[in-house]
Chain A
Amino acid sequence: MNELMHKLLFLPPQASTLAPKIDNLHYFVITVTMAASVLTGLLTFFFFFKYRARREGQSTPIVLPSVKFEIAVIGVPLFFFLLWFVQGFQDYIWYTTPPKNTMDVYVMGKKWMWKFAYAGGGPNAIGTLHVPADRPVRLLMTSRDVLHSFYVPDFRIKQDVLPGRYTETWFEATKPGRYQILCAEYCGTWHSQMWGEVVVMPGAEFDAWMVEQKAGLAERVDTGGDDGGNMRGTIVEYGKKIAMTEGCLRCHSLDGQPHIGPTWLDLYQRRETLESGESVIADEAYLTDSMIDPRAKVVKGFKPVMPTYKGRLAAPEAAALVEFIKSLRSTSLENLPSKEATYEPAKPTTQRR
């Protein structure tokens, strides 16, 4: 039954503990709705055939509703509606009351990407959220600019993300796999591309992954240079920190808007046309060269105003910056094939400048 309705209604896979609850009520509500509208339609047709006008000026009886009829007309729909409400509200309360032992993840929405940070320490990420299966995860969400809405159809969860305060939602994924995050609240030009991905891993695998990530952080701290002592986070994070301290972000935006220099969003592997007219793909080599000798290959439309960073950036720092630039994708970074055919992996979006 579940399978049939699920197919008939074209619902996405049920991948959280909430999904079956929502779907069961959905089946009930839609069945009653269909029945009511079909009955109304059939009754109309039946009356039409039975009570067609037979002659000109035909007179008709006065039909009046009895009190019983009126009570039925009010009572029956109200009964169904309230039944839906009671069930729906129960589920909703269940959904808005996270269990005590959740794993907390901070989520920030901004035009047009999702960022994640683990409350207990761990890697920060853009676009991809790794979570364990069968463990409740709570998301504490806020926005940097306008309203967004965090929506994972396969989990049936959705919550608006507001600037200036936190909202929360939670889920407990039931099946390992990759699930798409969509933005459901209109937020501007690339609202329709503000996608991300939840990667659900089996619990043990996730723990191992987390340990590895944290170890990776520590390792990088050791090799990270003189101020590594208080540096935390992945190499990407380190790159971002350098970008901030070295003033890169004064000229390069991260949100797709061209500023004094080209935006870093989606810069990696982008085909850029240079002042000289030739075109170049912004790969690691180009990015590194541009730090050392910025005026050699200036992108068309921008002034050659960038100072050289030769001698100011150590090799690991330049590498971290490149890694950071590589991480700036408006959609998910991961190009791994998805095992569950839940959605097609994000393609490099080339239509955007």
Chain B
Amino acid sequence: MSQPSQQPSADSPAVYPAVNYLNADRGVKSWFLTLDHKRIAVMYLASVLVMFLVGGIFAMAIRLELLTPEPTIMGANTYNRMFTLHGVVMIFLFMIPAIPGVFGNFCMPLMLGAKDVAFPKLNLLSLYLYWTGAILAISAMAMGGLDTGWTFYAPYSTTTPTTVFPALLGVFILGFSSILTGLNFIVTIHTLRAPGLTWMRMQLFVWAIYATSIIQVLATPVIGLTVMLAGIEKVGGFGLFDATKGGDPVLFQHFFWFYSHPAVYIMVLPSMGVVSDAIAAVARKNVFGYKMIAYSSLGIAFVGFFAWGHHMFVSGQSPFDNGAFAVISMFVGVFTAIKVFNWVGTLYRGAIAVNTMFVYVCGFLFFVVFGGMTGIAVATVSLDVHWHDTYFVVAHFHFIMVGAVIMGFLIAIHYWFPKMFGKKFHEGWGMVAASFIVLGFIATFVPQFFLGNAGMPRRYYMYPERFQAWNVASTAGSSLLAFGFVIIAIYLIYALLRGEIAGDNPWQSRGIEWLTTSPPDKHNFPKPIVVTQDPHSYQKPGEEVEHVVI
């Protein structure tokens, strides 16, 4: 068991472990009071999928409304609530917790050869805080909803008569969940690595989770404070952002983006980690430029903190700060570019398998390059004057948030589905759905770039008629996207119930998480792991290995 690479289990028949973490304990209590990181991960998975469904329904409603320039299916106030809740649910309840909460929790301790995370009780507390925050956010919806946009900009958010406060409280509590998860993961990675697992032998997913956790710990307190201040101002009239009381509304934006810019890396870094891991398994090859990918994750985590002002180029921020934040944003872009080069480089001279994951990886690479570079484009100060708050920005961040984060999430689901549940999904349907998703995605969001170019502002309920053609195209594309998700839901549920038994390592991956049974035992590994190899190493020991330097 000590050598990750020496036990290809391809020939042995697939066995479903009789006792595993899923059936070791029974009863509702054994789930809700569990301290097992894997069960917590499964509960996170169920929760974030529900939230994704909710956010997705809002998204479809928005797209339908925008089918015509006039009111289509709902009133203006309903529409404003829809896009607000779409943003709040997708960002705070889906994207931020999705990959760290589910796959970080499930796989990261396994990848370290650990028995659990450092603070299992804290881990469970994070989940409960997540649920509390989710319930509060949903209750805001039930109490009439809020119409501020997910950015909660003051003074609108502090003066609107809608129910903002429960949502702010929800975000505050979700922040704590996020902080505690990040703290837990940092300590786990520092203390619970198996013997021999040096920093430079950690899998890239672990590196990504580590970088993400740093951002979570450093940035999230600030959003906690920000929403707290907005809530106090709304309820108590403290006037911190109220111009008539001498307050400065732009200060709110500084507060907000100090968290929310790093937060986009909280969302996207784990996804990049998933791709780094999965691409090695798909191409059966060592990751090209391992160190560059690892360090660029840390680089993004660090430099990402200095770029928040590029969300505020036309907000009344000074030209000096605009320039400073713009130039720093250019450097953040370089870190992502490094990763892209290395991912493509990993495919070079690999043995690429044709499967669902690969389709998503292709989509991911295109989206991350186009979405990333349009990000640099909007960070170019003068261009942002035209593009700011138009659909160009909407399209850009959906390329990154949907194109990169959701592709990463889907890759992770498909890659680790056998690990989590010990079952195989249908590869053919997987590829069909993946094609729908990738194409539907392009059809949904490419038109929005043109809308932005033409000057359609975001958060528009009604729009001048000249924008209609592209809006129709976008709505049509979104239905393809939704159809793809329906297919995925069907074949994954089928796989869960009556799927073929996957065996311990169906992808013949060399990741440490595959060294135990699938699904794993309650205590993860039957015997302690000792790591002696480099990560993502697909060469058989003793075999003549060709070294190529390009």
Q: Do chains A and B touch in the complex (CB under 8 A)?
A: yes
Contacts A92-B322, A149-B389 given; indicate if A184 touches B347 (C-beta within 8 A). no
**Within the assembled complex, what's the spacing in Å between the Cα atoms of A217 and B97?**
63
Q: A37: which B residues are within 8 A, CB to CB?
A: 366, 369-370, 373
Q: Does B155 touch A at the CB level, under 8 Å?
A: yes
| Tally of contact residues, B, Cβ under 8 A | 102
User: Are B385 and A62 in contact, CB atoms less than 8 angstroms apart?
Assistant: no
**Within the assembled complex, what's the spacing in Å between the Cα atoms of A152 and B355?**
48
User: Are B382 and A95 in contact, CB atoms less than 8 angstroms apart?
Assistant: yes
User: Are B349 and A63 in contact, CB atoms less than 8 angstroms apart?
Assistant: yes
Q: Does B200 touch A at the CB level, under 8 Å?
A: no
**Within the assembled complex, what's the spacing in Å between the Cα atoms of A32 and B247?**
43
Q: Does B460 touch A at the CB level, under 8 Å?
A: yes
Q: A89: which B residues are within 8 A, CB to CB?
A: 323, 326-327, 381-382
The segment from B121-129, B225-233, B334-342 found at the interface with A is B334-342
CB nearest neighbor in A for B376: A81
**Within the assembled complex, what's the spacing in Å between the Cα atoms of A89 and B458?**
24
Q: A45: which B residues are within 8 A, CB to CB?
A: 362
User: Are A22 and B383 in contact, CB atoms less than 8 angstroms apart?
Assistant: yes
Q: Does B86 touch A at the CB level, under 8 Å?
A: no
Q: A278: which B residues are within 8 A, CB to CB?
A: none
B326 to chain A, nearest CB (A): 6
Q: Does B56 touch A at the CB level, under 8 Å?
A: no
**Within the assembled complex, what's the spacing in Å between the Cα atoms of A26 and B285?**
39
A145 to chain B, nearest CB (A): 7
Contact among B70, B248, B286, B351 for A53, CB-based, below 8 A: B351
User: Are B457 and A44 in contact, CB atoms less than 8 angstroms apart?
Assistant: no
Q: Does B380 touch A at the CB level, under 8 Å?
A: yes
User: Are A26 and B292 in contact, CB atoms less than 8 angstroms apart?
Assistant: no
User: Are A12 and B382 in contact, CB atoms less than 8 angstroms apart?
Assistant: no
**Within the assembled complex, what's the spacing in Å between the Cα atoms of A351 and B461?**
13
Q: Does B80 touch A at the CB level, under 8 Å?
A: yes
Q: B314: which A residues are within 8 A, CB to CB?
A: 149, 158-160
**Within the assembled complex, what's the spacing in Å between the Cα atoms of A60 and B153?**
52
**Within the assembled complex, what's the spacing in Å between the Cα atoms of A21 and B382?**
9
B549 to chain A, nearest CB (A): 5
Q: Does B37 touch A at the CB level, under 8 Å?
A: no
Complex interface residues of chain B between 316 and 361 (CB less than 8 A to chain A): 316, 319, 322-323, 326-327, 330-331, 333-334, 337-338, 340-342, 344-354, 358, 361
Q: A180: which B residues are within 8 A, CB to CB?
A: 464
**Within the assembled complex, what's the spacing in Å between the Cα atoms of A60 and B510?**
13
Complex interface residues of chain B between 395 and 438 (CB less than 8 A to chain A): none
CB nearest neighbor in B for A88: B380
B338 to chain A, nearest CB (A): 6
Q: A64: which B residues are within 8 A, CB to CB?
A: 288-289, 547-550
Q: Does A170 touch B at the CB level, under 8 Å?
A: no
Q: A260: which B residues are within 8 A, CB to CB?
A: none
Contact among B288, B340, B382, B464 for A40, CB-based, below 8 A: B340
**Within the assembled complex, what's the spacing in Å between the Cα atoms of A186 and B388?**
12
Contact among B70, B461, B547 for A191, CB-based, below 8 A: B461
User: Are A96 and B250 in contact, CB atoms less than 8 angstroms apart?
Assistant: no
Q: B342: which A residues are within 8 A, CB to CB?
A: 65, 73
**Within the assembled complex, what's the spacing in Å between the Cα atoms of A111 and B455?**
21
Contact among A40, A48, A93, A351 for B352, CB-based, below 8 A: A48
**Within the assembled complex, what's the spacing in Å between the Cα atoms of A167 and B539?**
62
Contact among A9, A93, A146 for B155, CB-based, below 8 A: A146
A107 to chain B, nearest CB (A): 14
**Within the assembled complex, what's the spacing in Å between the Cα atoms of A195 and B463?**
10
Q: A186: which B residues are within 8 A, CB to CB?
A: 80, 148-149, 153, 156, 389, 458-459
Q: A167: which B residues are within 8 A, CB to CB?
A: 316
Complex interface residues of chain B between 273 and 331 (CB less than 8 A to chain A): 283-286, 288-289, 292, 314-316, 319, 322-323, 326-327, 330-331
Q: A87: which B residues are within 8 A, CB to CB?
A: 380, 382
**Within the assembled complex, what's the spacing in Å between the Cα atoms of A45 and B358?**
11
Q: B341: which A residues are within 8 A, CB to CB?
A: 73
Complex interface residues of chain A between 172 and 216 (CB less than 8 A to chain B): 180, 182-193, 195
User: Are A164 and B338 in contact, CB atoms less than 8 angstroms apart?
Assistant: no
Contact among B70, B316, B463, B550 for A63, CB-based, below 8 A: B550
Q: Does A57 touch B at the CB level, under 8 Å?
A: yes
A238 to chain B, nearest CB (A): 29
Contact among A44, A78, A84, A157 for B377, CB-based, below 8 A: A84
Interface string of B181-225 (1 = CB under 8 A from A): 000000000000000000000000000000000000000000000
A30 to chain B, nearest CB (A): 7
**Within the assembled complex, what's the spacing in Å between the Cα atoms of A66 and B550?**
6
User: Are A30 and B539 in contact, CB atoms less than 8 angstroms apart?
Assistant: no
Q: A95: which B residues are within 8 A, CB to CB?
A: 382, 385
**Within the assembled complex, what's the spacing in Å between the Cα atoms of A270 and B361?**
57
**Within the assembled complex, what's the spacing in Å between the Cα atoms of A92 and B386?**
11
A229 to chain B, nearest CB (A): 34
Contacts A65-B289, A183-B457 given; indicate if A162 touches B550 (C-beta within 8 A). no
User: Are B455 and A153 in contact, CB atoms less than 8 angstroms apart?
Assistant: yes
Q: A138: which B residues are within 8 A, CB to CB?
A: none
Interface string of A1-43 (1 = CB under 8 A from B): 0000000011110000000011001100110111011001101
CB nearest neighbor in A for B249: A162
User: Are B334 and A30 in contact, CB atoms less than 8 angstroms apart?
Assistant: no
Q: Does B147 touch A at the CB level, under 8 Å?
A: yes
CB nearest neighbor in A for B460: A192
Contacts A62-B545, A157-B385 given; indicate if A47 touches B243 (C-beta within 8 A). no
Q: Does B374 touch A at the CB level, under 8 Å?
A: yes
A-B CB proximity, top 9 nearest: A164-B243, A153-B455, A88-B380, A91-B382, A61-B546, A77-B337, A81-B330, A47-B347, A192-B460
List 24 A–B pairs whose Cβ atoms lie within 8 Å, in order of A's numbering.
Answer: A26-B386, A37-B366, A40-B344, A40-B369, A44-B366, A53-B351, A59-B543, A59-B545, A60-B283, A62-B545, A65-B292, A65-B342, A66-B549, A73-B292, A85-B327, A93-B319, A147-B249, A154-B455, A160-B314, A163-B249, A185-B153, A189-B147, A351-B70, A351-B71
Known: A9-B450, A74-B338. 7 other contacts (CB 8 A): A33-B370, A37-B370, A51-B350, A149-B457, A163-B244, A189-B77, A351-B70
